[in-house]
Amino acid sequence: MTSGEPAGFANAAAGSSGEAAAAGGATMYERVGGRDWFVALVDRFYDAVAEDPVLRPLYPEDLGPARDHLALFLIQYWGGPAEYNEERGHPRLRMRHQRFAIGDAERLAWFRHMRAAVRAGGLAPHDESEMLDYFGSTASLLMNRDRGHKVIGLGSSASR
Ligand code: HEM
Per-residue exposure over 74-86, b if at least 16 CB sit within 10 Å of its own CB, e if not: bbbbbbbebebbe
Kindly give the parts of the chain with pLDDT less than 50. Answer: 1-22, 156-160
Q: Per residue in 120-129, pLDDT tens?
A: 999 999 999 9
The pLDDT, as a whole number, for residue 146 is 80
Residue 59 near ligand 1, beta carbon < 6 Å: yes
User: Which residue has the least CA distance to atom 33 on ligand 1?
Assistant: 70
Question: Which residues have C-beta within 8 Å of that of residue 44, sequence separation ≥ 6?
Answer: 116, 117, 120, 121
Residue 37 near ligand 1, beta carbon < 6 Å: no
Q: Which of 93, 112, 146 to mutate to test the pocket of ligand 1 (most atoms within 8 A of CB)?
A: 93
For residue 121, count CB atoms less than 10 angstroms from its CB and return exposed for 0-12, middle for 13-18, buried for 19 or more: middle
User: Which residue has the least CA distance to atom 8 on ligand 1?
Assistant: 97
The pLDDT, as a whole number, for residue 24 is 59
The pLDDT, as a whole number, for residue 152 is 75
Tell which atom from ligand 1 comes closest to the C-alpha of 62: 16
The pLDDT, as a whole number, for residue 150 is 76
The pLDDT, as a whole number, for residue 153 is 63
| Fold type of domain 28-141 | Globin-like (1.10.490)
Ligand 1 center from residue 10 Cα (angstroms): 36
The pLDDT, as a whole number, for residue 84 is 98
Tell which atom from ligand 1 comes closest to the C-alpha of 63: 16
- Specify the pTM: 0.84
What is the phi/psi pair of residue 145, to 5°? Answer: -135, 140
Residue 138 near ligand 1, beta carbon < 6 Å: yes
Tell which atom from ligand 1 comes closest to the C-alpha of 58: 10
Say if CB 71 and CB 114 are below 8 A apart.
no
**Domain residue ranges of the chain, discontinuous segments joined by +:** 28-141
Residue 110 near ligand 1, beta carbon < 6 Å: yes
